[in-house]
Amino acid sequence: MTIGLEGAQTRLPELVAGLGPGEEVVSTRGDEPAARPVGETPKGPPRQPGNCQGMITDLADDEAHLADFKDCMPRGC
């Protein structure tokens, strides 16, 4: 949809509420585009605690492997 900037200013809440995912409204100043609000597209399912469970395997049960990083760690850790 294309609408003049003056008309868009008075109807902006209505225009934004009516946008579907990926739809856009082009506001024009004269014959040139001035703004282009675009409807939000869904990002996928919401994140849930435990989604990444099992994706990382810790091969060491001790902290001996952390000795190599001793100089990089903050003091007191």
The pLDDT, as a whole number, for residue 41 is: 83
Domain 1-41 fold is YefM-like fold (3.40.1620)
Average model confidence (pLDDT) for the chain?
85
The residue ranges of the chain whose pLDDT is under 50 are none
The pLDDT, as a whole number, for residue 39 is: 92
The residue among 13, 32, 35 whose CA lies nearest residue 24 is 35
| Surface-to-core class of residue 37, CB atoms within 10 Å of its CB (0-12 exposed, 13-18 middle, 19+ buried) | middle
The pLDDT, as a whole number, for residue 63 is: 77
User: By the 8 A CB rule, do 3 and 27 touch?
Assistant: yes
The pLDDT, as a whole number, for residue 77 is: 54
The pLDDT, as a whole number, for residue 76 is: 61
The pLDDT, as a whole number, for residue 25 is: 92
Domain ranges of the chain: 1-41
